[in-house]
Amino acid sequence: MACHNGRVTNDGRLVLAGAPIGQAGDVSPRLREVLASADVVAAEDTRRLRRLANELGVELGGRVVSYYDANEAGRALELVEALKEGRTVVVITDAGMPGVSDPGYRLTHLAVEAGITVTALPGPSAVTTALAVSGLPSDRFCFEGFPPRKAGDRARRLAGLAQEERTMVFFEAPHRLHTCLEAMAEAFGADRRAAVCRELTKTYEEVRRGGLGELAGWAAEGVKGEITIVVAGHVAGAGELDVSALVAEVDRRVAAGEPAKTAVADVAKGAGMPKRELYDAVHRRSATP
């Protein structure tokens, strides 16, 4: 028995194991050791785990069980019981760290509540790897996971991040990358700097850097592979737009016969400003007595 955070616990131990995001050689010697010695290995994909173990020359000594989104809730309860019995349970996902947009949070929460020791084997992460190679500020950042799939939900989420000053990191599916980048250009401005990181550490690794509008155009032809997007944060007070001048330009175009919707869109695009912000500014000016 051991004391952990003021609670008396058994010797069970939950190990969150970071898996390589592309190259098997990136794993640590400790991962080899824990995979060989663990009582239970809970894997997001048992076939990929066995393939990794084979590449590493590791013989899995314990019981291997599946642990993925669809069975996470029920399997977490089962694994907690194993931990309470004093077992060492390792959780490993297909790539990266368990719990970061992958299964792991529920089990970790239950283990902490039960007073069970929780530790981690650090490993490669697409989040920090993409941040490091993006060329964007890395002193302060936030991870936003996958943007919502539905257009309206995605637009609202991104609009709420338009003033975020930290560098933002997102995951996205390749078949949604183009529409996601278009939505980001709409919410953050077409000139907002960003990097699209594809197949990090793998044979066909590619990092595209540029404005969101430019990147959206590149992605229109279709992109394959695992995708991580890094977007620069909003820089408050630096290079702020003269919104009143933009509103005046919209007024001039409308007076010349151009539709208001078209005028707002064109002026906002030229200024690298989300058109919703310019539309709101025009609307506020019109509503002012």
> Domain 2-124 class?
alpha beta
pTM over 0.95: no
Q: Which residues does 51 contact at the CB level (< 8 Å), separation at least 6?
A: none
pLDDT per position as a tens digit, 38-61: 999 999 999 999 999 999 999 998
pLDDT per position as a tens digit, 202-212: 999 999 999 99
The DSSP bridge pattern shows strands 40-43 and 63-66 to be parallel
| Range with top average pLDDT, 20-29, 93-102, 116-125, 169-178 | 169-178
Q: Give CA–CA dist 59/33, Å, rounded.
A: 10
pLDDT per position as a tens digit, 109-157: 999 999 999 999 988 899 999 999 999 999 999 999 999 999 999 999 9
Q: For the chain, what is the mean pLDDT? A: 89
Q: Give CA–CA dist 174/285, Å, rounded.
A: 41
Share of the chain above pLDDT 70, in %: 92
pLDDT recorded at residue 10: 57
Q: Give CA–CA dist 247/9, Å, rounded.
A: 65
Mean pLDDT of 259-283: 81
- Between residues 273 and 92, the one the model is more confident about: 92
pLDDT band for position 242 (cuts 50, 70, 90): low
DSSP 19: B
Q: Which residues does 149 contact at the CB level (< 8 Å), separation at least 6?
A: 176
Q: Give CA–CA dist 288/286, Å, rounded.
A: 6
The runs of H, that is alpha helices, within the chain are 29-37, 46-56, 72-84, 105-113, 126-134, 151-159, 177-188, 212-219, 243-255, 260-271, 275-287
In this structure, CATH architecture of domain 127-231 = 2-Layer Sandwich (3.30)
